[in-house]
Amino acid sequence: MTVSARVGRWSNGNTVYVYVVDSNNDGNTTGYAVTLGTAADTTAPTVPTVFGAESPDTSSIALSWIKGTDAVGPVTTDIERCTGWGCTTYTSLQNTAASNHTDTGLTSAQIYHYRIRSRDGAGNVSAYVETYFNPRPTIPAFPGAEGAGAASIGGRGGAICRVTNLNDSGAGSLRACTTAQGPRTVVFTVGGTINLQSVLPINNPYITIAGQTAPGGGIAVSAKAGFFDVIGMNTHNIVIRYIRFARGYYLNHPDETGDTISMFGPANNIVIDHVSARWANDGNIDIWRDDINEKTNNISISNSIFSEPLGDQKNINFGANNNASETIKNIDMHRNYLYGYERNPLVTVKSFRFTNNLVYNYVWEGLNTGGGMSLDAIGNKFKAGPAYPSARLPFRVFPMGGLTTPLGSPSIYVSGNVGPVTTDPAIDNWPLISNSDGPGLGQNGLLGTQYRRTTPLPTLPWPVTVEPATQIESTLLPSVGPSRRLDCVGDWVGNRDAVDIRVLNNYTADIGVFPTDEATVGGLPVLDAGTPCTDTDADGMPDAWETAQGLNPNSSADALDVHASGYTNLERYLAGNSAKPVLSAIFPASQHPAGTVATSLQVTTSANATCRYSKSSTATFGGMTPFSSTGSTVHSSTVTVEAGGSYRYHIKCLSTMGELSDAGVAAFSVEPMPVRQRRGWR
């Protein structure tokens, strides 16, 4: 007997009707059983890819990924979460057909561990792919941190990783700390130069590298041999401060090039502050990537020196090899000294703020950009040097863009900049920008009005503080770069090396060349190893500082205790000692006339601070009422009063370094309403 089956007009999507006829039994099918089926689907779908996270606010995390695929049918994604680094107990959040999910109701700055996997209709699941991230913190990366990267938490609350030698690798090396996993703060017990044999990678998130803790002459990280970068970052929540990075000329192998500092792939929430990068044979600092599905954002580069790229090499490059530049955004360069042949910087990212920088001795334009990027350039100074061509404009824009720029047309805002063609920051800044039709065509006129913006980009949680360009030389040059270190009691002491002294002197003396080999300008100086501070409990805080702060130098537990400022005790030490705010001009301090129903409570502080007030003299700072206008040096708030009342408000202010002021008092009264005199009887 032969049986055949096919889907016909009487079949639905999942049912096939089969008719069996026995020709040897007059068509009678009694006694026949027919079973049809398909092979079971046991093949798992592919894993999701490009699993990324970012935080839009202090209580949520936005996840995104590229969904897995399956040969049989549609794929959904399982999302699970656990709380804390190294956690193992997961909660199922959702199974979704989407490729994104926003997790809400979270705790600010808390690290969460997410894992996702693909699931098909038959219940087969892929392997997990994982990531860590945190909601935005309520305080910046360190006291005084500004810009997009200030949202980084670095290694806050994590382990202490001590660098005890200058070896390229192994126990006690800087590499052992950068390649470790989990939140960690790197401190140094030795000064000198670390000579690398391969790139120094940061691929694991949540790290603070505190170069200011190095004794003696501080720390330099150098790499001459091979085709690699000095330091490469490919993750999130990184803080690097007070380190010198140097590439350099590799004898007999000039084609082996690399960046001095590089950020690539999904690098975000990063602060590079008070560093020095020099002698690049590609770029002194680069933000670069190829995958448009990855996100690179929220980066601050501040108070740093980028100098002497070798020969005619580039100083700074931010962008991509393709339109992946479309998803590189929120980059701040604030208060830096740029001394390079060209690309100071070249920027083809979606949004970029360039504020209060000094750009010196550029041959081509100081700042180049193109395509559909949004740029703010505010309060910068461009200074001619011996290499500068006469009348070269500071800015150059390629409106047409190209295959390596963001999509669309540029949107540019400029204000308060000065340069060789104008010394007055108050005049029209648009003549400082040249408009080029395309790469290599040269200057051909001013920027078209259709590309001009009249308002700056939206402010961030910790916006940069912009001062007049005419003041930048006096406020930036004395402190820029890794100019100081911490001593054992937490005071700052000067610590500039010979290279930074020389390149800063070039600025003030109007001299300077671009060497092809750093040896011709002296090369790396020998740095004193110094003597480490006594730190009995190895918690990163010297005994002398702990004792002065009333902490226990024999217990490492207090390093992670949280101060009233919101920072841990370790972070307070790393921020250095600062004078507590001094309060003055406290108002009101007199009697108000009858009929007054409200008055302005005011105080001025000696430095930027956050101020609060209370009627109680015993109230803690956290229990006091914040001034409605606060955060700088002038603070005010409106309070209601009544006729005949006497008032006494106690005021305290917390500096950006976590120092609490002595209490100030605003004491005043309000005259009573006059009593109407009775008219006498006659």
Residues 6 or more apart from 62 whose CB is under 8 A from it?
53, 54, 55, 56, 100, 101, 102, 103
Q: What is the pLDDT of residues 456-481, one digit of tens each?
A: 999 888 999 999 999 999 999 999 99
Q: What is the pLDDT of residues 147-188, one digit of tens each?
A: 999 999 999 999 999 999 999 999 999 999 999 999 999 999
Mean pLDDT, range 434-449, rounded to an integer = 64
Q: Which residue carries 């105080």 as its tokens?
A: 603
Q: Which CATH number fits domain 583-670: 2.115.10, 2.60.40, 3.40.50, 3.40.630?
A: 2.60.40
Q: Nearest-CA neighbor of 330 among 144, 56, 17, 629?
A: 56
Say which residue, 209 or 345, is predicted with more confidence: 209
pLDDT of residue 281: 85
Task: Provide the mean pLDDT of the chain.
Answer: 89
Q: What is the pLDDT of residues 245-270, one digit of tens each?
A: 999 886 666 666 789 999 988 899 99
**Could you tell me the residue ranges of all domains in the chain?**
148-494, 583-670
Q: CA–CA separation, 625 vs 616, rounded Å?
A: 11
DSSP string, 224-289: -SSSS-SEEE-SEEEEEES-EEE----TT-TT----SEEEESS-EEEEEES-EEE--SS-SEEEEE
Q: What is the pLDDT of residues 199-246, one digit of tens each?
A: 999 999 999 999 999 999 999 999 986 768 999 999 999 999 999 999
Q: CA–CA separation, 348 vs 329, rounded Å?
A: 10
Per DSSP, the three-state class of 52 is strand
Q: What is the pLDDT of residues 304-323, one digit of tens each?
A: 999 999 887 788 888 887 77
Q: Which CATH number fits domain 148-494: 3.20.20.80, 2.160.20.10, 1.10.15.40, 3.30.310.220?
A: 2.160.20.10
pTM: 0.84
Q: What is the pLDDT of residues 72-89, one digit of tens each?
A: 989 999 999 999 999 999
Q: What is the pLDDT of residues 644-658, one digit of tens each?
A: 899 999 999 988 766
DSSP string, 511-541: -----SSGGGGT-SPPPP---PPP-TT-SSS
Q: What is the pLDDT of residues 479-537, one digit of tens each?
A: 999 999 999 999 999 999 999 999 999 999 999 988 999 999 999 999 999 999 999 99
Q: CA–CA separation, 143 vs 659, rounded Å?
A: 11
DSSP-derived pairing of the beta strands 367-370 and 346-347: parallel
Mean pLDDT, range 383-395, rounded to an integer = 82
Query: Which tokens sit at 245?
Result: 């990075």
521 alpha-carbon distance from chain centroid: 33
Q: CA–CA separation, 424 vs 676, rounded Å?
A: 63
Q: What percent of the chain has pLDDT over 70?
A: 90
pLDDT at 23 over 70: no
